[in-house]
Amino acid sequence: MDQKTTFGVLVGNRGFFPSHLIESGRKEILQKLEEAGFGAVVLDTSATPYGSVESLSDAKKCAAFFQEHAEEIDGILVTLPNFGDERAVAETIRRAGLDVPVLIHAFPDEIGKMSQADRRDSFCGKMSVCNNLTQYGAKYSLTTRHTEAVGSEEFAADLEWFGAVCRTVGGLRGARLGAIGARVAPFKTVRFSEKILEAAGIAVEVVDLSDILGRVDRLDDEAQEVQDQLGEVRSYVRLEGVPEQALAKMAKLRLVIDQWVVENEIDAFAFQCWDAIEKYLGIVPCAVMSMFSQKLIPAACEVDVTGAVGMYAMALASGQPSALLDWNNNYGDDPNKCVLFHCSNLPKDVFSEVSMSQHAILADSVGAENAWGVCVGQIKPGPFTYTRVSTDDVAGVMRAYTGEGQITDDPLETFGGYGVAEIPNLQVLLNYICTNGWEHHVAINRSQVADAIYEAMDNYLEWDVYYHQ
């Protein structure tokens, strides 16, 4: 996820409009992309007039050029400094065959520049481009306003949004999810279909928990790689009375999972976090999972694989770590507030303050000495996005819901990882969740990317998505 997001840039042209608009427009777009930190793959000005696309010949050249750079291109930006040639745009996208998101952008005309020497007519041309793309069966996205100046705040925001859409689509197509251990017996709520995920391009690699524990048992506490991991565990969050023996077990568990993740090219995983690992290894895995989520390899608890998909989607979109929580409690009588909670394995950047402690819920059943390793604290106030992904095994489709809210600074005295969430029309959302049989888990991310998540999943991945607004 550290790789720069790169767009294939298609500069549309119609020859009887002023050529200086194409020349200046191309320069403006490329400069803006560079300033915003995006890469650009664009025809050279020696390949076609001004590096633009107007004819079938230009379309073939641009399509071939995009194909040559297919591995670099995350999305296509169609920009219209003038009306553009709608056929050439549609032919380019069809012939390139990249199957990536497409954003249609049109330059605005200026009131004082509407003569034949300066008028663009991009306002009109954008409609023709969209019409032809629709006829060609191509999917595309639109800017917030019909026309946008390249230097405007709206266009800057749309570029960031489109980049998030591209990363989400590209990351979920071909994602590799891991499942460590079997589903916790009582949790039929997190059952899912591997076959539906596979049909959506998402592979699931499974490993038995006993295999992981066996590898941990074979490690020497004094081995350098274990000591390196131990140093990272010690420096991750504030430690309050955590025994050295428990920290050493966490270090070995993290090393084994990290090796498995690398070997299998895992993007996100779900873990059997209770209660076998507490009984037979003597720790809870929450802090270890938190460390993976922190470095943008989301780790979901209770073998909630589709929960990990939602976590991964938002991490792709935002570049920030995601967490998995329960929709857990009402907050007094406020109908738009609720408590989000887990035991917890939340990544440390989600917290205001965080420390490692014992698992308050499991300590009585597995023994307090076997319950070290949870990350506890209150979630940092601010805006957040929530997403839930699931497989509808009856209908045979992927489904999801997403939306945004605020984590408040309302007081709450409890344990684990927790926060008070305020969501407009929360009762409507809760009714939707219960009526449609959704899981009690939800992924959150301290960003505002619901628009991008919805566009990626609904428009391009063609999942069944509810956007709560």
Write the pLDDT tens digit of every residue in 219-237: 999 999 999 999 999 999 9
According to the model, what pLDDT value does residue 116 have? 75
- Portion of the chain with pLDDT greater than 70, in percent: 100
Asked whether the CA dihedral 288, 291, 295, 301 is positive or negative, the reply is positive
Q: Domain holding 23: CATH number?
A: 3.40.50.10940
User: CB-based burial of residue 52 (10 Å sphere; 0-12 exposed, 13-18 middle, 19+ buried)?
Assistant: buried
Residue 401 within any structural domain of the chain: yes
Residue 230 within any structural domain of the chain: yes
Q: Average of pLDDT values for 146-161? A: 98
**Are the C-beta atoms of residues 175 and 298 closer than 8 Å to each other?**
no
Instruction: Clarify whether residues 190 and 165 are in a common domain.
Output: no
Last residue of a domain, one of 172, 195, 220: 172
Instruction: Clarify whether residues 105 and 155 are in a common domain.
Output: yes
Give me the half-sphere count of Cα atoms (radius 13 Å) on the Cβ side of residue 413. Answer: 0
Within 142-298, residue ranges assigned H as helices are 153-172, 194-199, 209-218, 224-236, 244-264, 276-280, 286-294
Instruction: Clarify whether residues 16 and 128 are in a common domain.
Output: yes
Q: Which residues pair with 177 in a beta bridge?
A: 204, 268
Residue 1 within any structural domain of the chain: no
According to the model, what pLDDT value does residue 255 have? 98
pLDDT exceeds 70 at position 1: no
d(Cα 267, Cα 261) in Å, to the nearest integer? 8
Of 48, 99, 93, residue with least CA distance to 74: 99
Residue 453 within any structural domain of the chain: yes
How many domains, the chain? 2
pLDDT exceeds 90 at position 104: yes
For residue 58, cis peptide bond before it (omega within 30 degrees of 0)? no
Q: What are phi and psi of 417, to 5 degrees?
A: -105, 130
pLDDT exceeds 80 at position 2: no
Count the neighbouring beta carbons within 10 Å of the beta carbon of residue 431.
11
Count the neighbouring beta carbons within 10 Å of the beta carbon of residue 224.
8
Residue 23 within any structural domain of the chain: yes
Range of the domain at 216: 176-468
Burial 165-190 (b: 16+ CB within 10 A, else e): bbbbbbbbeebebbbbbebbeebeeb
Angle between helix 305-318 and helix 153-172 axes, rounded to 10 deg: 150
Instruction: Clarify whether residues 38 and 187 are in a common domain.
Output: no
d(Cα 451, Cα 443) in Å, to the nearest integer? 16
Instruction: Clarify whether residues 201 and 145 are in a common domain.
Output: no
Amino acid, single-letter form, for residue 288: V
pLDDT exceeds 90 at position 240: no
Instruction: Clarify whether residues 166 and 202 are in a common domain.
Output: no
Amino acid, single-letter form, for residue 114: M
Segments of 30-101 assigned E as strands: 39-42, 75-80
Residue 462 within any structural domain of the chain: yes
Q: Which residues pair with 78 in a beta bridge?
A: 10, 104
Asked whether the CA dihedral 122, 158, 401, 168 is positive or negative, the reply is positive
d(Cα 347, Cα 382) in Å, to the nearest integer? 16
d(Cα 364, Cα 329) in Å, to the nearest integer? 23
Residue 218 zone, left/alpha/beta (φ > 0; ψ -120 to 50; rest): alpha
Give me the half-sphere count of Cα atoms (radius 13 Å) on the Cβ side of residue 199. Answer: 12
Count the neighbouring beta carbons within 10 Å of the beta carbon of residue 116.
8
Per-residue pLDDT reduced to its tens digit, 304-356 = 999 999 999 999 999 999 999 999 999 999 999 999 999 999 999 999 999 99
Q: Domain holding 317: CATH number?
A: 3.40.275.10
Instruction: Clarify whether residues 136 and 247 are in a common domain.
Output: no
Q: Average of pLDDT values for 284-298? A: 98
Instruction: Clarify whether residues 273 and 352 are in a common domain.
Output: yes
Of 460, 445, 459, residue with least CA distance to 313: 445
What would you report as the CA-atom Rg of the chain, rounded to the nearest whole angstrom? Answer: 25
Q: Which strand (E) or helix (H) includes residue 22? A: helix 19-35
Q: Which residues pair with 341 in a beta bridge?
A: 326, 418
Instruction: Clarify whether residues 259 and 157 are in a common domain.
Output: no
Instruction: Clarify whether residues 151 and 216 are in a common domain.
Output: no
Q: Which token pair is 454? A: 């919805």
d(Cα 57, Cα 11) in Å, to the nearest integer? 14
Q: If you average pLDDT over every residue of the chain, what do you get?
A: 97
Q: pLDDT higher for 466 or 3?
A: 466
Last residue of a domain, one of 172, 199, 217: 172
pLDDT exceeds 90 at position 3: no
Angle between helix 86-96 and helix 122-135 axes, rounded to 10 deg: 40
d(Cα 276, Cα 216) in Å, to the nearest integer? 14
Instruction: Clarify whether residues 411 and 436 are in a common domain.
Output: yes
Per-residue pLDDT reduced to its tens digit, 378-424 = 999 999 999 999 999 999 999 999 999 999 999 999 999 999 999 99
Last residue of a domain, one of 172, 204, 224: 172
Residue 199 within any structural domain of the chain: yes
Of 324, 466, 350, residue with least CA distance to 401: 466
pTM of the entire structure? 0.97
Residue 362 within any structural domain of the chain: yes
**Are the C-beta atoms of residues 259 and 251 closer than 8 Å to each other?**
no
Asked whether the CA dihedral 196, 199, 203, 206 is positive or negative, the reply is positive
Instruction: Clarify whether residues 184 and 287 are in a common domain.
Output: yes
